[in-house]
Amino acid sequence: MMFTRKSRKFEKNDARCAVCGGDMSGVGSGIEVCPDCVRRRWKDCRPRLEAIHAGSREVFNLPLRAPGDPGGFACDLCYRRCRIGREDTGYCGIRSGSSASIHNDGRTHARLSFYYDPLPTNCVADWVCPGGTGAGYPEFANDRCTEVGYYNLAVFFEACNFNCLYCQNWSFKKTAGTRRAWHSVNSLTGAVTDRTSCICFFGGDPTPQLPYALLVSEAARRERPGGILRICWETNGSMDPSWLEPMARISMETGGCVKVDLKAWNPRIHRALCGCDNRRVLENFARLAEWVPLRPDPPLLIASTVMVPGYVEEEEVAGLASFIARLNPDIPYALLAFAPQFFMEDFPCTSRAQADACMAAARRAGLRRVRLGNVHFVH
């Protein structure tokens, strides 16, 4: 089923919070409840928010919740811990209980698209990574500065275990449950050329198809012994901890990085925006931070946060930045301007005042490497 929600440009309206009746004219109507009520009146907000998330999935025939069949196939890839019966599909839409899905389920085959992204890219980490700066030359970079003439193999996984109402890449959900071509490990490793200096797994999110991504990474490295081929991840960070170490290790060894999108600090704001809380994300981020001193340059771990008007502003950024600074104040942190999309398409872009306040909050928290990204969306 195609997404048919009417697209509209933001304009001030007379929207009121469905819980407290307060003015919401400074933000869009997609969430229906104001951030104060989300934080302080969760019991009143929860049914409405759950209905919005369910509706945003139903239109794509995605499961409304993680299946819990006691006798079903147990998936250990992420915090949702789906138990998938014969007639079920996992929350991410990739794995099913059918015996026919043993290969086409993100293990030896994956649902994805890929392209060659000339360096330097618009990657979240381009301001600190070898491809954009030459950091780690000559071990991890082909040049002392930007790797002009080389490419990032950008691998977009068409599945996700979150349900972000402002997803910038929501169109991948149109392929859920279809017979769209799946890629074998060999078909993707065959796309690595002598001008490919990094592979970035993103999406969607790599988490639902992590076994496949790790197989590709190892196979590609074997075919390029001694050559520069960085392995990078852009993820929501919610995978099971047992999968975190192999991800971090292969990035550490190759000069790549793990870019974790920290959506919000308050678990209720996170649940309102993404359909889940952030406990696993923060725990995994702290685990990754333990690896940072082992290879300070180029940095292994990068954090980012999208500044959602009204919901992820100075207070949320201050909480996240303080958390990061306690772990290691040199972890790079990119604050990204928001662009209206999906169920939050009638929201405004990030304002200059919001961006400045968030940048100041991150620096006050003690972070030494803070950057404003997506500046073309700031108004």
Asked if residue 55 is part of any domain, the answer here is no
Asked if residue 299 is part of any domain, the answer here is yes
Q: Is 156 helix (H, G, I), strand (E, B) or coil?
A: strand
Q: Tokens 């951030």: give the residue.
A: 35
Asked if residue 47 is part of any domain, the answer here is no
For residue 147, pLDDT over 80 is answered with yes
Spatial CA neighbour of 112 closest among 201, 192, 220: 201
Please tell me the predicted confidence (pLDDT) of residue 282: 98
For residue 162, pLDDT over 70 is answered with yes
Q: Express each pLDDT in 209-218 by its tens digit.
A: 999 999 999 9
The CATH number of residue 131's host domain is 3.20.20.70
Phi, psi of 195 (to 5 degrees): -105, 5
What does the pLDDT average to over 344-373? 97
Please tell me the predicted confidence (pLDDT) of residue 41: 97
Give binding residues for [4Fe-4S] cluster as ranges. 160, 164, 167
Contacts of range 78-84, beta carbons closer than 8 Å, 24 or more positions apart: 78/161, 78/207, 78/208, 78/238, 78/239, 78/240, 78/280, 79/161, 79/238, 79/239, 79/240, 79/276, 79/279, 79/280, 80/161, 80/276
Please tell me the predicted confidence (pLDDT) of residue 178: 59
Share of the chain above pLDDT 70, in %: 93
End-to-end CA separation in angstroms for the chain: 34
378/266 Cα distance (integer angstroms): 24
Asked if residue 25 is part of any domain, the answer here is no
Asked if residue 183 is part of any domain, the answer here is yes
For residue 1, pLDDT over 80 is answered with no
> What value, to the nearest 5°, has the Cα angle with vertex 354 and ends 275 and 371?
85
For residue 2, pLDDT over 60 is answered with no
* Parent domain of 253: 109-377
For residue 185, pLDDT over 70 is answered with yes
Asked if residue 77 is part of any domain, the answer here is no
Q: How many domains, in total, are found in the chain?
A: 1
Asked if residue 14 is part of any domain, the answer here is no
Please tell me the predicted confidence (pLDDT) of residue 177: 56
- Evaluated on CA atoms 242, 320, 157, 249, the torsion sign reads negative
Give binding residues as ranges. 160, 164, 167
Asked if residue 9 is part of any domain, the answer here is no
Report the chain's mean pLDDT, rounded to a whole number.
Answer: 92
242/155 Cα distance (integer angstroms): 23
